[in-house]
Structure 1
């Protein structure tokens, strides 16, 4: 089949999900196209695994340029002639559904709800849009049961599907901690917490830095590394300076490959404010490292039941984060044991090859099902 993925953003977890899907779909023999803005990693990495990339200039947030973005997207869809249109994240979901309006079998994957990311009047407007736009998505694909539950609770009436996120467990294999630390210029024996993720409000690195001085007081030799770049980088750097911790906290910046940092870690922390199902914890688990996560959508489902009590804290609960981090960093042997158990879980439940197979089955079901009950499939408009 011909599959057209449309994505904005072009970095972070969403981009990695798209590239993983493209790789698996090309290996299965499908014709795959990706429409995305220039810049970032997505275009180059998607092309490298066999996608035909179409440049779609689009800003991350809606605004005056949205109408022109929709018009450009119509032309891309018409030229591609896809059997399936797969829209990734809120902005692509907005522009793609306006451009096609259900005329092409459409899968919308929110990668965390847009209305959870904003407050006030904007949250209300975003929610009203999502309720209205479900009519133009033949399947609404969530990465966790909780994400679907939150959508249902918010009043979205859709044809739901749930496929948990996955990672390439062969790529994220356990590696020697000491060798990784030497290569990165880190102290070989110091307890090390690592946070991998885009530096933005969603990922909660500010919560982590607020907790860090007390963690250091309880575990004096501990070190912290923030791996990633993003809009909050300057503010987080200021927090590090103001906390007098520049020698104990390292802002690494964006990296092409996080595996050396995962290998070096005793504990991987992601104190997100919201998620669908974050990839960074899955990568850490596949690398044989224990995780500490905010109990947001997707986090609980990504963990085996036996690990949830020790690996989850309430979102933005600084006190709970301090306690759990200090406990973990004080016991590196238990961290090692937990990491081994989580590696087994990731290999069994979150292998990206299974994700690709489930998405392929969803597409085939969609193409064979015909119009949803009570709906008449729209005739393809002339501009498509």
Structure 2
């Protein structure tokens, strides 16, 4: 298909499951930017909060009742999605995360240019036979994928090491700097706006108490259990410190059972920015990622971050901050000592917040991310890169090479995407 660059208005079908956490925020931000650029956008996803948000932006939403994990309902989910594709007649299909990537590529099978964005590989979440099945599926599905879009070079390299031979584009995550921004300053002690936020969100917490905030789905991937294991060691060095876990997920009950009284559970929130602004330090102790959104959002709000050194973490940070912002994954002692040192050093936190905000504005603006994604669509549709479209970050591409039949597995064997 060939479209004139001046008349480039493809019909894009975004497909997503999950519908919460960072993936949902990426889909919402991308949809917002694509609608602003006058693309025709339809999103297929399970009904709920994300669907309502997308409709409020002006996107067409097609309900796609699909579970988060593959299972006995997979065949019917693929059939429903195939009917949506037939009805929408998109020029480009863009599938987000493992489950949507599984169903979309089975439904389309390369008949329409298809972009797959893993948002962290599915085989990282499982072990043994399940991981082997997931890697086998991804190797086979590459033949039905016009482009695999990774959010970090580390994520792309992990895919290559798993034997996935695809055409790659690396487009780092971005955030909206008008939504994620500081209040009046970078330190709540001299920032009346942030102080008001703290008093509203953290009733009962002393105004001067150092506050650590962790924003993310309550699940094994995000590592809140590691942070809880580190927390008493933090409190041993900073006795007044309080920890707030923002989000919901399958591990909520277990995490509550592990948490001391100094830990608050905020639950799911519609907007995370006020919680970042209320924090002295934002921590994300993930076990694996592609490139997490929470640290980018926190830095955009002018807050210092402490994250585990997993895929995408170094690429998301200003190079000068890596030594202070990174700790090994699953190391509670290192996490505690770094967090306590930062809580005891307000000038360092303030400087880190300023550097982080400047870094996000320069390299992780969601408008640049959306423009880079649109450039991928142009290339797949034979239009070529858009003249004058800024690149989000350097994009690396290699040519597709089909997997061999010996590498392929039948998708019905896989019980994980």
Q: How does 1:333-352 map to 2 (within 5 A)?
A: 333-352=347-366
Asked if 2 retains the 8 angstrom alpha-carbon contact of 1:194 and 1:227, the reply is yes
How far apart in 1 are the matches of 2:295 and 2:236?
A: 26
Shift, 1:187, TM fit: 2.1
Question: Is residue 126 of structure 1 aligned with residue 140 of structure 2?
Answer: no
Contact 2:166 2:400 in 1 (8 A): no
In structure 2, the partner of 1:29 is 38
DSSP 3-state at the match of 2:166: coil
RMSD: 1.3
Question: What CA distance in whole angstroms lies between the structure 2 residues aligned with 1:335 and 1:24?
Answer: 32
User: 1-side partners of 2:53 and 2:214: how far apart?
Assistant: 23
Equivalent pair of 2:166/2:401 in contact (CA under 8 Å): no
Alpha-carbon distance in 2 for matches of 1:335, 1:167: 21
Tell me the residue number matched to 2:248: 229
Q: Quick one: distance in 2 between partners of 1:129 and 1:258? A: 35
Q: Which position in structure 1 is the counterpart of 2:413? A: none
What is the TM-score normalised by the length of structure 2? 0.87
Q: C-alpha separation between the residues in 1 aligned to 2:334 and 2:293?
A: 23
> Is 1:200 matched with 2:209?
no
Q: Which residue of 1 aligns with 2:412?
A: none
Structure 1: gaps of 5 or more residues: 376-384
Report the more deviating stretch, 316-325 or 170-179: 170-179
Match of 1:356 among 362, 365, 370: 370
* 8 Å contact from structure 2 (residues 153, 170) kept in 1: yes
Q: How has the CA–CA distance of structure 1 residues 131 and 369 changed in structure 2, closer, same or farther, with 3 Å as cutoff?
A: farther
**How far does the alpha carbon of each residue in 1:73-122 deviate from its partner, in whole angstroms, 9 at most, with x for none?**
11000000101000000000000000110000000000000000111111
Q: Contact 1:38–1:57 at 8 Å: present in 2 too?
A: yes
1:9 matched to 2:53? The reply is no
Deviation, 1:177, is: 2.6
Q: Which has the higher contact order (CA 8 A, sep 6+)?
A: 2
2:64 touches 2:80 (CA, 8 Å); kept in 1? yes
2:319 is aligned to: 305
3-state SS of 1:368 partner: coil
Q: Distance in 2 between matches of 1:58 and 1:264?
A: 36
**1:307-329 CA-partner distances (Å, limit 9, x unpaired):** 00110011101111011011011
- Report if the CA contact (8 A) 2:165-2:401 is conserved: no
**1:18 paired residue among 27, 48, 53:** 27
Q: Partners in 1 of 2:102 and 2:156 — Cα distance?
A: 18
Q: Which segments of structure 1 move beyond 4 Å, counting only runs of 4 or more?
A: 372-375
Aligned length: 368
List runs of 5+ in structure 2 lacking aligned partners. Answer: 1-9, 184-192, 385-398, 403-417
Shift of 1:373: 7.4
TM-score, normalised with respect to structure 1: 0.94
Instruction: Answer yes or no: is the 8 Å Cα contact 1:197–1:280 preserved in 2.
Output: yes
